[in-house]
Structure 1
Amino acid sequence: MNSEVSQTSSHIDSLRWPDKQKPVEKDDTLKQEDFFALLTQQLSYQDPSKPADNDQMIAQMTSFTMAEGISNLNTKFESLSASMTSNSALQASTLVGKKALLESDTLELSASGSARGSIVSAKPTEKLVVNIYDESNQLVRSIDMGEQKAGAIRFEWDGKNGDGEPMPEGDYEIKAEANINGEFTSLPTATFKNIDSVNVNGANGIIINTKAGAVRLTDVAEIA
Structure 2
Amino acid sequence: MSNDINTSTSYTDSLRWQDTQPETAKKSDALTQEDFFSLLTQQLSFQDPSKPADNDQMIAQMTNFTMAEGISNLNSKFESLAASMTSNSALQASTLVGKKALIGSSTLELNSSGEAKGTIAAEKPVKDLKLSITDASGQLVRTIELGTQAAGGIRFNWDGKNEAGESLPTGEYSIKAEGSMGEEFTSLPIASYKNIESVSINGANGIILNTKEGAIKLTDVAEIA
**TM-score normalised per structure 2:** 0.81
Say which is worse superposed, 148-157 or 183-192, in terms of deviation.
Answer: 183-192
Post-superposition shift, 1:137? 0.4
> Structure 1 residue 89 and structure 2 residue 86: aligned?
no
Q: Secondary structure at the match of 2:101?
A: strand
Aligned to 2:220: 219
Aligned to 1:103: 104
Post-superposition shift, 1:181? 5.3
Q: Secondary structure at the match of 1:203?
A: helix
Aligned to 2:9: none
CA distance in 2, matches of 1:79, 1:184: 55
Q: Secondary structure at the match of 1:147?
A: strand
CA distance in 1, matches of 2:57, 2:125: 74
CA distance in 2, matches of 1:223, 1:173: 21
CA distance in 2, matches of 1:179, 1:104: 21
Post-superposition shift, 1:56? 1.8
CA distance in 1, matches of 2:136, 2:61: 76
Aligned to 1:173: 174
Aligned to 1:59: 60
Aligned to 1:138: 139
Return closer, same or farther for 1:125/1:27 CA change in 2, 3 Å cut-off.
Answer: closer
Q: Deviations over 1:108-134 (max 9, x none)?
A: 111222110111233434422211111
Post-superposition shift, 1:180? 4.8
Q: Which amino acid aligns with 1:178?
A: G
Aligned to 1:203: 204
Post-superposition shift, 1:37? 1.4
CA distance in 2, matches of 1:219, 1:75: 31
Say which is worse superposed, 136-145 or 193-202, in terms of deviation.
Answer: 193-202
CA distance in 2, matches of 1:180, 1:30: 68
Q: Deviations over 1:116-164 (max 9, x none)?
A: 0111233434422211111100111222223323322111111122222
CA distance in 2, matches of 1:221, 1:82: 27
CA distance in 2, matches of 1:44, 1:145: 89
Q: Secondary structure at the match of 1:40?
A: helix
Q: Secondary structure at the match of 2:25?
A: coil
Percent of paired sites with the same residue: 70
Say which is worse superposed, 182-191 or 29-38, in terms of deviation.
Answer: 182-191
* Structure 1 segments unaligned to the other structure (5+ residues): 1-20
Return closer, same or farther for 1:125/1:32 CA change in 2, 3 Å cut-off.
Answer: closer
Aligned to 1:42: 43
Indicate the structure (1 or 2) with the bigger Cα radius of gyration. 1
Aligned to 1:30: 31
RMSD: 2.1
Q: Which amino acid aligns with 2:119?
A: S
* Structure 2 segments unaligned to the other structure (5+ residues): 1-20
CA distance in 2, matches of 1:147, 1:123: 11
Q: Which amino acid aligns with 1:112?
A: S
Q: Secondary structure at the match of 1:49?
A: coil
Bigger relative CO (Cα 8 Å, ≥ 6 apart): 2
CA distance in 2, matches of 1:146, 1:62: 71
Aligned to 2:129: 128
Return closer, same or farther for 1:42/1:135 CA change in 2, 3 Å cut-off.
Answer: same
